[in-house]
Amino acid sequence: MNPAKIIDHTNIDPKAREKDIKKTCQEAKKYKFRGVCCNPEWVRLVHNELKSAGVKTVVLIDPPMGLSSHSKRVEMCKKAKKDGADELDIVMNIIDMKYGRYDDILKDLKEICKILPTKVIIGSGYLTDEEIKKASEIVKKAGAFCVKTATEKDPLEHIELKEKAKHLKIMREGAPGLKIKASGKIRTYKDLLMMVEAGADIIGTSLGVEIMKQYKRKKK
């Protein structure tokens, strides 16, 4: 397996400038990554940089805990679509999840999933195993195509990869048939393989270039 095909090459650094985003896009084109994941303000630039490259423009919406109002979330997603996004990576309202407001979460996500193909970030580091499964069930009901662990900048991304691997298996139980995206602390080719073996279909990482270099060295 060529890992480039499953990597969403990520630059969500709040300090990133235009030249940094362009560099990320150039790297994505060179290695033929699955996509480039960026913050909303860079969607138009990323879309223009990736035209005809076969690399998706993916936008991160409402980190770190999905606390914006429903109307604001819909507005952000529609603007991302207008600017050229191919996919949404949107954070579920994690506070609603913790308080069991499942109907509110489902209503919010159902409308958003109609805008663009959607991955929903459940913030697995904040949740119990039971909540991870329930969150994954909601994501499937909402019409998303993928359930995602967390963002790279999630405050609780200190959890070990072995724990994350367990989360992926629970997510698969809760949302059979959906793709699973793992993100956070995936820094090496070995890390990537661990996540794939645990059930990940897509990998989110800002270290895609280093992972590809490691992969190519191992192939020699």
pLDDT value of position 220 = 72
pLDDT value of position 160 = 80
Euclidean distance between CA atoms 34 and 23, whole angstroms: 16
The residue from 83, 86, 89, 108 that is catalytic is 89
Active site residue 110: no
Active site residue 154: no
Q: What percent of the chain has pLDDT over 70?
A: 97
Architecture of the domain whose range is 3-219: Alpha-Beta Barrel (3.20)
The residue from 148, 154, 185, 191 that is catalytic is 148
pLDDT value of position 156 = 60
pLDDT tens-digit readout, 84-130: 999 999 999 999 999 999 999 999 999 999 999 999 999 999 999 99
Contacts 24+ apart (CB under 8 A), 161-169: 161/185, 161/186, 161/191, 161/194, 161/195, 162/194, 164/124, 164/195, 164/198, 165/194, 165/195, 165/197, 165/198, 166/129, 166/198, 167/124, 167/129, 167/132, 168/195, 168/198, 168/199, 168/200, 169/198, 169/199
pLDDT tens-digit readout, 146-196: 999 998 766 665 678 888 899 999 999 999 999 999 998 899 999 999 999
> Can you give the pTM of this predicted structure?
0.96
Euclidean distance between CA atoms 133 and 180, whole angstroms: 13
Active site residue 148: yes
Q: Is the pLDDT of residue 59 over 80?
A: yes
**Structure tokens, 78:** 């529609």
The residue from 56, 119, 134, 181 that is catalytic is 181
